[in-house]
Amino acid sequence: MVAAKSLSEFELEMKRHEHLMSQLLKMDTLKQSRFNDLPGEVKALGAWGGDFALLSWNDNPDNLKAYLQKKNIDTCFSYKSIVKY
């Protein structure tokens, strides 16, 4: 994921890792269980309990906030707000 040069490469690596972990843990991925309609990818963070996740989104951030609010998720941090470069 660190070496990805584009969002699509990053998403591919997210998906690959989630698939491997899903097989190892014998659990659905977070995308399968909670975000199956997300037009992007989902990477579980932490202990795969769904408490924290990394979502890729290539659209207006307000649309993501609306999407998450429909799922009763109010806390969301943008990449630019947590990564200082």
| pLDDT tens by residue, 16-46 | 999 999 999 999 999 999 999 999 999 999 8
Q: With a cut of 80, say whether residue 58 has pLDDT above it.
A: yes
* Cα 48 → chain centroid: 12
Q: Is residue 56 part of a domain?
A: yes
Q: Which residue has the higher pLDDT, 50 or 23?
A: 23
Q: Check pLDDT > 90 for residue 80.
A: no
Kindly give, in sequence order, each residue whose CB lies less than 8 Å from that of residue 50, ignoring residues fewer than 6 positions away.
30, 33, 34, 44
Q: Could you tell me if residue 32 is inside a domain?
A: yes
User: Domains in the chain: how many in total?
Assistant: 1
* Structural domain contains residue 2: no
Domain that holds residue 24: 7-82
Average model confidence (pLDDT) for the chain?
A: 91
Q: Say if strands 42-45 and 52-55 run parallel, antiparallel, or are unpaired.
A: antiparallel
Rounded to whole angstroms, the Cα distance separating 76 from 69 reads 10
- Is the model's pLDDT at 85 over the cut of 80? no
Asked, for residue 31, whether it belongs to a domain, the answer is: yes
Whether residue 1 lies inside any domain: the answer is no
